[in-house]
Structure 1
C-alpha cells in the first residue's frame, strides 16, 4: 500500500512555509530543488522539510492539507515546533535510494 506524505517545506530563513502532499518525498525534494533555482532565481529556495505526517489514503492527506491551509502562520509554527523544535531539515534523515545502478566491467 502506498503511503501519502503531507509535508511542510521552508527556506533557510524560515520566511516561507508551504504545505503539500506527495507519495515519494525523495523525488519531490529533487524536483523542488531543481525547479526553484530555475523558476525563482532570486526568490526563496525552499529546501528544508520541517514537518511530515504519513497517511494511508490520499483522502485523509487531502483533508489534513485543507486543515493546515486554514491555519495561521503561528499555528503552523507551533505544530512544527511541537515535533521538530529546532526546525531541523527532515529530508536529511530520509534514506535516499539510488535511482540507477552502474556497473563497471574490467578487461
Structure 2
C-alpha cells in the first residue's frame, strides 16, 4: 500500500553557496519556516531559504531518495537543479500561488 506523499527538496541561499537538502510532507510550511528563520538571522546571506528544487515522492521511497541526493557531489546537485530550474528561481513563489488557488477553490465550493 502506498503511503502519504512526501517532498524531497533543495534550498539554497541567495548566492548559491549553501545547499539544504530535506524531506517533508508539507513543503509550503517547511519553506516558510526557513524564510522566517532567515529573516531573523544575522547571516542572512548564508541561510538557505530559496526553494530551487523539489520532487513529490511516495513515502516508501522518500528516505532512500533523500539519501541518494544527499550523497551527490555539488556538481551533481547543480545539474539536478538546472534540469528543471535553469535560472535557479525561487519555486516557493509558485507554491504560494498554488496554495492560494486551492484555498480560493475550496471557498467557492463551500459557498
Give 1 or 2: higher helix fraction. Answer: 2
How many pairs does the alignment contain? Answer: 96
Larger radius of gyration: 1
TM-score, normalised by the number of residues in structure 1: 0.79
CA RMSD of aligned residues (A): 1.7
**Structure 1, unpaired ranges of 5+:** 99-107
Specify which of 8, 12, 15 is matched with residue 13 of structure 1: 15
Give the alignment's TM-score, normalised by structure 2. Answer: 0.77
- Write out the 4+ residue segments of structure 1 that deviate beyond 3 Å after TM superposition: none
Unpaired runs of 5+ in structure 2? 104-111
C-alpha contact 1:37 1:45 (8 A) present in aligned 2: no
Displacement after TM superposition at 1:15 (Å): 0.7
